[in-house]
Structures are given as C-alpha cells and as structure tokens.
C-alpha cells in the first residue's frame, strides 16, 4: 500500500471515505497548541516513500493553516514521496482583487503558499469570481469538485416545483449549475455590498418564481446578510418563504437566526465545514473526484 491518508482532527469521516476509494492506509495528524499558542503537530503514520494526502477543511483558516503547513513539511521531512491536500473548503478566495489601494490579493498569495507546501489540491466549489479557474491561481494540479449534483438530489427529495435563486451576480455559476441539474428555471438578484455586514439585495425577474418554492443558493454563507436580504426581498415580493442552501457553512455571527428572521423556511448546507445545518453529505462525491484526480497523477 503506497498511499496514506492523514486526517486533521475533525476530518476523519472524509479521510475514511478517501482511504476506502483509494484502498489507502489511514493515519492521523495530532495537533495541539503549546502554552504560548504555537502549534505542535505529529504525523501518526508511516509515510516514508509513500504518497500522502492531508485531509483538512480550511475554515477558521488562520487557526488551521499553520498546523497544516507544519504537517506538510513534517511529512516531506519524514520521506513522503508526494503530498496532496484535500480541503473541502478553500479560504481567502473572495479577496480576488485589490479593492482599495494598499490591500493585497489574498487568493493569489494563499494559492502560492499552498503551491509551496503540497503537490496538488482538491477542493469543493472554490469561490472563483474574477478568475475563471484554480489553474489561474495555482501552479500545481488542482481539482474543483462541484456540489451541484448532491444538492440537486437533496432538492429533488423535497418533491416540489422549485425555482433556483442566486442572491447576487457572483452566485450565478452555482444557481445555473443547480438549475441545470434539476432542469428548472433560475434567476439571479442584484447585490450591492457596502461593508462586511451591510449589503442590499434587489429582486428582478421574479415572474419565474411564481407558484414555485424558491431555493436560494450561494457558495458561502458567512454573516448571512446576503442570503437574509435575498430572502426578505422574495418574501416581500409575495413569494413563498425560501429554502436557503449554502455549500460552505462559514457562519460568522448568528447567521442562522438572522436567516430565519428574514423569512427562510429552512437553512441547509453541505458538510464541507461541520455545522448544525449540514444536511447534504459530500464524502462520496469528493471521494470519486479525488480518486479520478489521483489516477491522473
């Protein structure tokens, strides 16, 4: 057995699915903090001459990325012949331009940093807006897995006539992909962001929502302001209370309560980030894509 899958604490279930897809050995990363806050990482597996995959979703990125970097360097040091990363959530992708003078383009810097650590990255629905593909950010091979099929299966389970609604222009790619899977109408609203917690969303093309259950879809729900404003606009326009679906349950603040207050009938997410709203499992989808990615290496 030449491959070994190492799970970051909390990512064991996905690591099991990947190991089973590749018939690979399983190991773990033990991570703890020293009293001064520095991270201590131990690789719990034999990695000499083996291809190692680190499984680590990168929510709370400023806490998890340093231990991940230490883990990758440790595995390399211990003789791993290749190191890959499966990170269901890839952070920092929204800062994809210099919006105000003096700030950095973090998406590029984080991609370069990961490029220096691992030999390839598999992730789910990365926030790609001003760049068309991960290939424009990374030099190493990457695979962006789509959650649309799994979300579509969940929506079909509602047994309702639905319309897919993206809350802003950036969500068009996810709204369109889901609508295609389901073969239903879709529309995108217009958002103006004035600050981290200050957005304004306006509805348009709502005639397509008539008589249908609106499924609001976005890649990331963070403060929930985007989804909440979109839900409120739908309800105000006389639509049925929407179901809010997020791929990545970042959920800063008390976003779930905000979404319900705004009129959402239900809030569900994929399990790329552990959260009480996780209702759509992606292990199988990620494992299939990961297996294909590794076969192509």
- Would you tell me which residues interact with ligand R5P (CB under 6 A)? 94, 127, 168, 170-171, 199, 218-226
For the chain, the first-to-last Cα distance in angstroms comes to 17
Distance CA(6)–CA(55), nearest Å, equals 6
The two structure tokens encoding residue 222: 């963070």
Element (H, E) at 291: helix 283-295
Nearer to ligand R5P, 18 or 256 (CB): 256
Nearer to ligand R5P, 76 or 94 (CB): 94
- Quote the strand ranges of 49-197, DSSP E: 51-55, 82-87, 120-124, 142-145, 162-166, 186-188, 190-195
Nearer to ligand R5P, 33 or 276 (CB): 276
Nearer to ligand R5P, 64 or 225 (CB): 225
Distance CA(258)–CA(230), nearest Å, equals 12
Shortest reach from residue 248's CB to ligand R5P, in Å: 9
Shortest reach from residue 167's CB to ligand R5P, in Å: 6
Distance CA(53)–CA(146), nearest Å, equals 20
Nearer to ligand R5P, 7 or 123 (CB): 123
The two structure tokens encoding residue 16: 């099991």
Shortest reach from residue 171's CB to ligand R5P, in Å: 6
Shortest reach from residue 290's CB to ligand R5P, in Å: 24
Distance CA(134)–CA(126), nearest Å, equals 8
For residues 272 and 57, the answer to whether their CB atoms sit within 8 Å is yes
Shortest reach from residue 94's CB to ligand R5P, in Å: 6
Nearer to ligand R5P, 96 or 119 (CB): 96
**For 108-115, which contacts have Cβ atoms below 8 Å and span 24 or more sequence positions?**
108/137, 111/137, 111/138, 113/69, 114/85, 114/138, 114/140, 115/139, 115/140
Shortest reach from residue 170's CB to ligand R5P, in Å: 4
Nearer to ligand R5P, 158 or 169 (CB): 169
Shortest reach from residue 258's CB to ligand R5P, in Å: 9
Burial class (CB in 10 A: 0-12, 13-18, 19+), 285: buried
């Amino acid at each position: 057995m030449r491959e070994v899958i190492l799970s970051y604490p909390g990512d064991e279930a996905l690591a099991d699915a990947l190991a089973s897809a590749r018939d690979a050995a399983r190991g773990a990363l033990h991570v703890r903090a020293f009293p001064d806050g520095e991270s201590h990482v131990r690789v719990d597996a034999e990695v000499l001459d083996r291809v190692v995959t680190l499984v680590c979703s990168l929510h709370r990125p400023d806490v998890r990325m340093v231990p991940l970097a230490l883990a990758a360097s440790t595995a390399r040091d211990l003789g791993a012949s290749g190191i890959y990363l499966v990170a269901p959530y890839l952070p920092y992708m929204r800062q994809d331009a210099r919006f105000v003078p003096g700030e950095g383009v973090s998406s590029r810097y984080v991609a370069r940093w990961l490029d220096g650590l691992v030999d390839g990255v598999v992730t789910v629905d990365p926030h790609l807006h001003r760049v068309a593909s991960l290939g424009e950010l990374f030099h190493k091979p990457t695979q962006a897995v789509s959650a649309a099929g799994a979300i579509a299966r969940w929506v079909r389970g509602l047994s309702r006539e639905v319309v897919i609604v993206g809350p802003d222009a950036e969500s068009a790619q996810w709204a369109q992909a889901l609508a295609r899977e389901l073969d239903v109408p879709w529309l995108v609203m217009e958002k103006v962001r004035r600050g981290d917690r200050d957005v304004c969303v306006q509805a348009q093309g709502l005639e397509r929502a008539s008589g249908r259950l609106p499924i609001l879809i976005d890649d990331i729900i963070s403060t929930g302001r985007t989804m909440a404003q979109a839900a409120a606009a739908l309800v105000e326009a006389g639509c049925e209370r929407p179901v809010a679906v997020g791929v990545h349950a970042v959920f800063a603040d008390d976003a779930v309560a905000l979404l319900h207050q705004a009129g959402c009938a239900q809030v569900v997410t994929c399990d790329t980030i552990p959260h009480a709203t996780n209702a759509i499992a992606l292990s199988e989808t990620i494992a299939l894509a990961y297996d294909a990615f590794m076969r192509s290496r």
